[in-house]
Amino acid sequence: MTEDLIIRKSGRVGHISLNRPKVIHSLNLDMCLAMTEALLEWRDDDSVEAVILDHSEGRGFCAGGDIAMLRESGMTDGKEGREFFYHEYQLNHLLFEYPKPIVAFMDGITMGGGVGISQPAKYRVATEHTRFAMPETGIGLFPDVGGGWFLSRLEGRLGQFLALTGARLDGAECKEVGIATHYLQSDVLEEAKQRITEKPDRIEGILGQLSGNVPEARIAKNLDKIDKFFASDRFEDILAALEADDSEWAAKERDTLGTKSPQTCKVALRQLNEGAAMECFADEMRNEYRIGYHVLVMHDFLEGVRALIVDKDNDPKWNPATPEEVSAEWIDNIFAPLPADEEWKPL
């Protein structure tokens, strides 16, 4: 057990609250293992009919994974970082396949690892505080924790847009595009949780009853542009399409992409392309583990975290520096299968 989680049974519901407020509840290995242990126990416990996943206090549900540890590991042999990915992805898969309904309350910052534990849930509740993003291209990582599956299944090219730009969506936008199943004002969350613990067989009705008016989703008016400019699975084509347009929107998105790791952008496009065709979530996680296994010790991830998180100079020196220099062979190596005894496997 770890003090970074609050795990308890309330009524007929298992309740897991993330409890690392100083780092916006970012996941570490102990948290992944303890969550997995609790979920496995409740899976076979007839007195538990549903699971609630939320955070204890502070301004975010979960800001991601333990990036500092991952970088330190990547600067040596990568062993500790790979172990974290392995168990985190097993947790993501367990949540995805879970036989009992899970309600994830995405109240506040929901990024990276927070996306990985909320998107597999049957019920995903956004609020006026929700800030959803997969910002990995900015640090040379990639949209993992199932991003290749979830993002590739959004309408049109929105998933590719989110993966490449790291754009943030608010709660209303999450509800509009299906990332969230419900939108509740934060002041009714405690009532929702209380009622769910009393009547876990009525989750749909409870969340529906407490849902208020959803504000206008700003992303809606940009979906046509996103589909047009982000239509290709070639990163160079997307950049060229944005560059050829003289609108303010296109210029802004082109400038945003200019700050991202070209390697990661190409990885993300291939990852989503392959993920869209995957027949089961375990295949997706196996693919992502291969990517993570390789990327963890590569220059762009170590440099991206240095520039954005460690030194905060926001001036990463990507290598390869341009999309054209990132060859197909380079990307093939990142997706390469691992030795049989090192491949990812579900629980």
H-helix or E-strand spanning residue 280: none
| Beta bridge pairs of residue 15 | 8, 52
Alpha helices in the chain (DSSP H): 29-43, 67-74, 79-97, 113-118, 147-150, 158-165, 171-177, 189-198, 203-210, 223-229, 235-243, 248-258, 262-277, 281-295, 299-305, 328-334
Catalytic hit among 14, 60, 64, 65:
65
Catalytic hit among 60, 74, 81, 113:
113
Peptide bond into 143 cis (omega under 30): no
Q: Do 113 and 65 touch, CB atoms closer than 8 A?
A: yes
Cβ within 8 Å of residue 182, ≥6 positions away: 123, 124, 125, 126, 175, 207, 208, 211
d(CA 15, CA 45): 14
Please tell me the total number of residues recorded for the chain in this structure.
Answer: 347
216 DSSP assignment: P
Cβ within 8 Å of residue 235, ≥6 positions away: 164, 262, 265, 266, 269, 323
Catalytic hit among 144, 170, 173, 303:
144
Question: In the annotation, is 208 catalytic?
Answer: no
Question: In the annotation, is 113 catalytic?
Answer: yes
What are the strands of the beta sheet with 123-126, ordered from one edge? 5-10, 13-18, 50-55, 102-106, 123-126, 182-183
The candidate with the shortest Cα–Cα distance to 198, out of 11, 14, 64, 3, is 11
Catalytic hit among 66, 136, 253, 288:
136
Residues annotated catalytic, as ranges: 65, 113, 136, 144
